[in-house]
Structure 1
Amino acid sequence: MNQAPIGIFDSGIGGLTVARAVYHRLPGESTVYFGDTARVPYGPKSPETVRRYSLEILHWLLDQGVKAVVIACNTSTAHALEALQSESPVPVIGVIEPGARAAAGAGRGGPVGVIGTAGTIASGAYARAIRRVRPGTQVEQRACPLFVPLVEEGWFEHPAAELIAREYLAPLRETGVDALVLGCTHYPLLKPLLQRVMGDDVRLIDSGEETASAVAAVLEAEGITAPPGTEPRHRFAVSDDEARFLHVGSRFIGERLDAAELVAVD
């Protein structure tokens, strides 16, 4: 057993949906969350830049004494997971593989849809991961960049959000996907809207929830779960604009955020 915290990081605020899933799945575990708000978004940046940023954050989290690291960012997972796993002395878990496994096992064996940022979709990481589990699967991908600002504005059910969702998702509906992977950590906050647009017969795959289950399995396998009765502590750190992180982040975490540390990583 191990009382050390779990490190969680994202390019900004969206990874808080993964943090929330970890809190629910592992209520006795402490966490340290880092949001790279000075350099968000990662989606349009080159794979080399994303890897460099991610390695810098990994080293900062290791300095905080974490026992495992969760990459709560699809773009970082797509471009940097292998580099971080090679560099890290503690387990590193990304969000793509758990979501892909769930998608491959969902539905009726038909096509699988994936939505995400331009960077995640361009990487093809979800399609490769899904086909590793279920070879030959038809994977239909769609970049949905406008979802991120809609979520950060809190426009989860705004008419503009529904108009944009219907436009983005029309090709996936026409294809008849069985399951839809929410391949960006912002997107779970749009779940009711996305389910309505796609229809009840399409299963939505929340990579954050699947990742939390994967983290639980890794901690158990490594024998590093927190002792029973441990009182968890959750720290938050950002690289810029603590005020906005606290304000917008409360929507993601589902409760008020009172404090965030400002730190520089390099």
Structure 2
Amino acid sequence: MDGPIGMFDSGFGGLTVARATIDLLPAEDLVYIGDTGRYPYGSKPLDDVRSYARELARSLVHDYGAKAIVVACNTATAAGLDELRAELDVPVIDVVRPGARALVATTTTGRVGVIGTVGTVSSGAYVRSIAETGVPVTLTSAACPGFVEFVERGQTTGDEVTVLAERLLAPMVDAGVDALLLGCTHYPFLARVIGDVMGPEVTLVSSADETAFAIRRRLAEAGLVRDIRSASGPGHHRFASSGDIDVFRDLGSRLLGPELDRTEAWPPTHDRAAPGAG
């Protein structure tokens, strides 16, 4: 129960999942790796993304002592989730299944949409996960290249973003969806623009909160939940980046909040340290 929750994403998008997890599980330690040195994942071959995911997940277990892994990246989930679950002896939680369940629970018309990176959409991961729910819906999917890059630059509003959103979301508008899943953890940062384009009758669904609930459930099943009543205080949170750590800290703190007050380099150059150390 003393190890941290390990979480990784290609960059800043997974901070939406980190935020929800910190709020829901305040006693838990958390280590987050943003692979900004190799982002974006969405346009890369899935074999490459699978390799990145294995490297990051293994590092979280072996370098940081993670008791569970959260793949806070839809593209990495689509590329390598099954392999990670087969290779690692800790729980591995994804963002795709929780998002799919939330989407089908939200719709009233049965017309739903999913937007994501090219890699996520082309993998069919959401098509399979939505089908597994058994809920009869009509699904429209669309890739949204460019959205991740805007978020990674900290540009989440403005004419450029709006023009791109109007073009990319046209299939969703034409399909008349009433629920739209933001199938990339970066996309909630663009929710205002996406919501304006889609209109007030469309509910935007983010997998972040549902993933946090899934994390709590999996930890409870494994007897790994750290109880706030018996903890010495709130959990410690560490954030690492494979790219420019100053840029990650500055933009990440604006996106996540005060918990992200410093960033360390990944991969680590020191022996395993306890969360909060350094």
Which TM-score band applies after superposition, normalised by the shorter structure?
Answer: over 0.9
Match of residue 265, structure 2, among 235, 258, 262: 262
Gap change, CA 1:142 and 1:207, over 3 Å in 2: same
Which string of whole-angstrom CA distances, capped at 9 and with x for unpartnered residues, describes residues 10-50 of structure 1? 11221111111111121111101111122212112222221
Which string of whole-angstrom CA distances, capped at 9 and with x for unpartnered residues, describes residues 99-131 of structure 1? 001112221142210111111111111111111
Match of residue 249, structure 2, among 246, 251, 254: 246
AA matched with 1:42: Y
Cα distance in 2 between the residues matched to 1:117 and 1:51: 15
1:62-101 alignment, distance < 5 Å: 62-63=61-62, 64-101=64-101
AA matched with 1:162: T
Kept after mapping to 2: 8 A contact 1:117/1:145: yes
Gaps of 5+ in 2: 269-278
The runs of 4+ residues in structure 1 deviating greater than 4 Å are none
1:185-196 alignment, distance < 5 Å: 185-196=185-196
AA matched with 1:260: T
Kept after mapping to 2: 8 A contact 1:144/1:168: yes
Q: Which is further off, 233-242 or 128-137? A: 128-137
1:27-176 alignment, distance < 5 Å: 27-63=26-62, 64-134=64-134, 136-176=136-176
Residue 225 of structure 1 pairs with residue 228 of structure 2? no
Cα distance in 1 between the residues matched to 2:27 and 2:137: 38
Gap change, CA 1:209 and 1:90, over 3 Å in 2: same
Which string of whole-angstrom CA distances, capped at 9 and with x for unpartnered residues, describes residues 82-112 of structure 1? 0000111110001101000111222114221
Count residues with an aligned counterpart: 264
TM-score, length-scaled by structure 1: 0.93
Percent of residue pairs identical: 46
Kept after mapping to 2: 8 A contact 1:5/1:29: yes
Cα distance in 1 between the residues matched to 2:209 and 2:228: 22
Kept after mapping to 1: 8 A contact 2:116/2:183: yes
Question: SS of 1:32's equivalent?
Answer: strand
AA matched with 1:244: V
Gap change, CA 1:86 and 1:179, over 3 Å in 2: same
Gap change, CA 1:36 and 1:154, over 3 Å in 2: closer
Kept after mapping to 2: 8 A contact 1:121/1:143: yes
AA matched with 1:48: D
Q: Which is further off, 27-36 or 41-50? A: 41-50
Gaps of 5+ in 1: none
Residue 199 of structure 1 pairs with residue 199 of structure 2? yes
RMSD: 1.6
Name the structure 2 match of 1:237.
Answer: 240
Question: SS of 2:169's equivalent?
Answer: helix
